[in-house]
Structure 1
Amino acid sequence: METEKYPALMRLMHWLMAITILGLIGSGWFMASLDPEVATYKYDIYFWHKSFGVLAMLLIVARIAIRLSSKHPGITESLPSFDKALAKLAHLSLYLLMIAVPVSGMLMSEFGGKPIPFFGLLTLPEVIENNKEMAGTLHSIHIFIPYVLLGIIALHVLGVLKHRFMDSPEHDSLKKML
């Protein structure tokens, strides 16, 4: 049976992930732009960025588990086929990128021999041998894919706004997530 709104836990996870992801992208841009000669606190930001990155990874795993085990509204049947296909592609892309960004950062740190802290509670164990070349490749990937993720997020938001303000009321997907 289709429900009108997403369950409260799914809505909470959606908005928590949105805030976390946008915060991580913003902090990543900020810390990367700082000159270490001037900004002595630059590497303090890495601690928080990595900690929230681990949190994002844990949240996406929990989000997938919650999504798979919960009843939730499907895509509105009366939407045109093209819109349904775009929505499915956007959601799949979002989930893949929400996994790929923190995984690439964690692997980059692992191959670079850099610790991965989790809010001072623990440091993830080093399980991969140092490989500076692989760390460099993963660094390039980790810098690039957040732009792709941000682009997909922008398309997701534009799609939601289109359905909210330009389509018929039964296509309003925002009301399902508020």
Structure 2
Amino acid sequence: MWRISHPAPPLDTLMPAWQEKAAHLTHLVLYFLMFAIPVVGWLMSSAKGYTVNYFGLFELPDLVEKDKALGHQLKEVHEFLANCLMALVGLHILGAIKHQFIDKDGLLSRMSFRGSQK
């Protein structure tokens, strides 16, 4: 919700077009995974017969009927997506470190609240 209401500041650096496209794609995939992983987890829990409790506030309804085989498949998908998220976060961190210490282009400062107010 933050990103929808607060667009990213424009790039101040001269970055090759492929890096800009890779960064944009990485962000899109990160947002997709942050949405998809909990939804697949909810589906998995429903299929395995577990009730999903939202931070102790209320219970979420089951999305699918109890199905052990489906629950196992969804567990595999959930784990795969979580591993993809971890790898992508690692790649994102490495990219930020590269820009900060190798390129020295100040790109890392865009991630702070001060950098986003330009």
Q: Distance in 1 between matches of 2:33 and 2:76?
A: 15
TM-score of the two chains, using structure 1 as the length reference: 0.58
Specify whether residues 71 and 140 from structure 1 end up closer, same or farther in structure 2 by C-alpha distance, changes over 3 A only.
closer
Q: Distance in 2 between matches of 1:71 and 1:98?
A: 18
Q: Distance in 2 between matches of 1:77 and 1:177?
A: 14
CA offsets 1:126-169 (integer angstroms, 9 cap, x no match): 24222222111101111222111111001100111111111143
> Counterpart of 1:173?
107
Identify the match of residue 34 of structure 2 among 98, 102, 122: 98
> Counterpart of 2:5?
69
> Counterpart of 2:116?
none
* 2:67 matches 1:134: no
> Counterpart of 1:88?
24
What aligned pairs does 1:33-48 form with structure 2 within 5 A after superposition? Answer: none
Question: What SS class does the counterpart of residue 9 from structure 2 fall into?
Answer: coil
Note the C-alpha offset of 1:77. Answer: 5.4
Judge conservation of contact 2:42–2:63 (CA < 8 Å) in 1: no
Note the C-alpha offset of 1:121. Answer: 1.8
Identity %: 37
Q: Distance in 1 between matches of 2:7 and 2:90?
A: 26
> Aligned pairs, how many?
112
4+ runs of 1 displaced by more than 4 Å?
A: none
AA aligned to 2:24 is: K
* 2:58 matches 1:115: no
Specify whether residues 72 and 88 from structure 1 end up closer, same or farther in structure 2 by C-alpha distance, changes over 3 A only.
closer
Identify the match of residue 156 of structure 1 among 63, 78, 92: 92
AA aligned to 1:111 is: A
Q: Which runs of 5+ in 2 are unaligned?
A: 113-118
CA offsets 1:23-61 (integer angstroms, 9 cap, x no match): xxxxxxxxxxxxxxxxxxxxxxxxxxxxxxxxxxxxxxx
AA aligned to 1:81 is: A
Judge conservation of contact 2:41–2:78 (CA < 8 Å) in 1: yes
Question: What SS class does the counterpart of residue 166 from structure 1 fall into?
Answer: helix
Q: CA RMSD in A?
A: 1.6
